[in-house]
Amino acid sequence: MQIKELLDLCSKHLILVKMNVKRGFLEMESFHPNGMLEVKRRLKKLIEVASKRSNNISVQWQYTQDDKNWFDFEPLLNSEMERMYQQKVTTCLLQDTNGCVYEIHFPRMMATCQTVSPIRRIDRSQAKELWPKHWEPMSKADNLKVVEVKPGTDEYNEVEKQFHMTLSGSPVKKLERIQNKSLYLQFCVKKKELDQYNPQGHQNEQKLFHGTMSDCIPPINENGFNRNYCGVNGTVYGSGVYFADKSSYSINYTKSDSDGNRHMYRARVLTGEFIETNSSTKYLPKKPGTNRPYDSGGDKSRGIYVIFHDSQVYPEYLITF
């Protein structure tokens, strides 16, 4: 709200303000020198505060309008969002330098300013320490790397064993590890959040299957699971992305490609605290006595889980069979 305070001060002293955030441009016109001095002092202080926060912050908040391309919030708004998040605020109103007032809803990770946009929080502070040790090296410029896992290794055998528990008649032709830095970072942040808010010792993560078609593989590897191209087959338990603890269930949502191959992901899924849902469920309800929604829906008795928040899933392995 600091920008609003500055603009209100300009209005008080009849100062005309022209601002262009993308160009980093600010122009002020006034016939009142005393008022201009006061505004300049306030602006200098605002810049100092923003600079200090920007230097200390390693978190970037982003928004998307198409579930594919993510854009950074401007620095001042970014620092204010992080400050509210750290204070465990549920919802807040924040204004950017263009005068657009955003209603931020942290539990749902949504921002509303004329349109509703999903948001995400990227913490880069410990990025180098976060990558799994078994990942192959990646350059700083690379965000995605798909690595074929060698048959006979412990990693390969572990995934194959779970896959064959209910699909013993479907030999694995290829197993690929998905190394996606940005998806892994946001997954780790969400996992840390669930570990913090859910009861101590609660199992928040499971390794589940998701059947898919070949044309969905590139966008999933790049952008993760989202309802636009992952929720087209299932709506029985709500408008989310579906996962199962049995590969024999997920095979129903696969389709042979031109080579006769089928594809299934073995994903890391943050199921957290579960609630049964139905076809009318678009958003998970809040947990009793809190402002936080449940973490997953579906039918636990059948091993079916529905996720309504994209960052709760990481597409760890792609199985071709």
Alpha helices of the chain — where are they, by DSSP H?
Answer: 2-12, 33-56, 75-86, 127-130, 154-164, 181-197, 217-223, 227-230, 247-250
Q: Which of 109-113, 230-234, 287-291 has the lowest mean pLDDT?
A: 230-234
Burial 53-73 (b: 16+ CB within 10 A, else e): beeebebbbbbbeebeebeeb
- Band the pLDDT of 51: cuts 50, 70, 90: low
Q: Which of 141-145, 225-229, 230-234, 302-306 has the lowest mean pLDDT?
A: 230-234
Averaged pLDDT for residues 15-41:
64
The answer to whether residue 39 scores a pLDDT higher than 80 is: no
145 backbone φψ class: left, alpha, beta (φ>0; ψ -120 to 50): beta
Averaged pLDDT for residues 259-267:
97
Q: 181, 195, 178: which is closest to 268 by C-alpha?
A: 178
- Which domains are present in the chain? 1-56 (no CATH), 58-125 (3.30.720.50), 127-320 (3.90.228.10)
Q: 229, 250, 228: which is closest to 298 by C-alpha?
A: 250
Count CB atoms within 10 A of the CB of residue 143: 14
The overall pTM is greater than 0.95:
no
Angle between helices 2-12 and 75-86 (to 10 degrees): 130
Q: 223, 218, 191: which is closest to 318 by C-alpha?
A: 218
Averaged pLDDT for residues 6-17:
69
Q: Do strands 313-320 and 263-270 pair parallel, antiparallel, or not at all (unpaired)? A: antiparallel
- Band the pLDDT of 55: cuts 50, 70, 90: very low
pLDDT number for residue 36 = 67
Rounded Cα gap, residues 280 and 306, in angstroms: 13
The answer to whether residue 53 scores a pLDDT higher than 90 is: no
Averaged pLDDT for residues 72-79:
85
The answer to whether residue 282 scores a pLDDT higher than 70 is: yes
Averaged pLDDT for residues 220-241:
79
Averaged pLDDT for residues 115-120:
89
Q: Which residue type occupies 284?
A: L
Instruction: Round the average pLDDT of the chain to a whole number and report it.
Output: 86
The answer to whether residue 78 scores a pLDDT higher than 60 is: yes
Q: In the beta sheet, which residues pair with residue 174?
A: 320
pLDDT number for residue 26 = 61
Rounded Cα gap, residues 142 and 27, in angstroms: 39
pLDDT number for residue 31 = 63
Residue 255 near residue 247, CB atoms below 8 Å: no
Q: 313, 318, 317: which is closest to 183 by C-alpha?
A: 313
Q: Which of 24-33, 187-196, 212-221, 273-282 has the lowest mean pLDDT?
A: 24-33
Rounded Cα gap, residues 319 and 306, in angstroms: 21
| Six token digits for residue 292 | 């936080």
Rounded Cα gap, residues 12 and 7, in angstroms: 9
Count CB atoms within 10 A of the CB of residue 268: 17
Averaged pLDDT for residues 293-300:
96
Burial of 203 (0-12, 13-18, 19+ CB in 10 A): exposed
The answer to whether residue 210 scores a pLDDT higher than 60 is: yes
The answer to whether residue 12 scores a pLDDT higher than 80 is: no
The answer to whether residue 277 scores a pLDDT higher than 90 is: yes
- Band the pLDDT of 79: cuts 50, 70, 90: confident
pLDDT number for residue 91 = 94
Q: Which residues contact residue 171 at a Cβ distance below 8 angstroms, ignoring those fewer than 6 apart?
A: 321
- Band the pLDDT of 13: cuts 50, 70, 90: low
Quick one: what percent of the chain has pLDDT higher than 70?
80
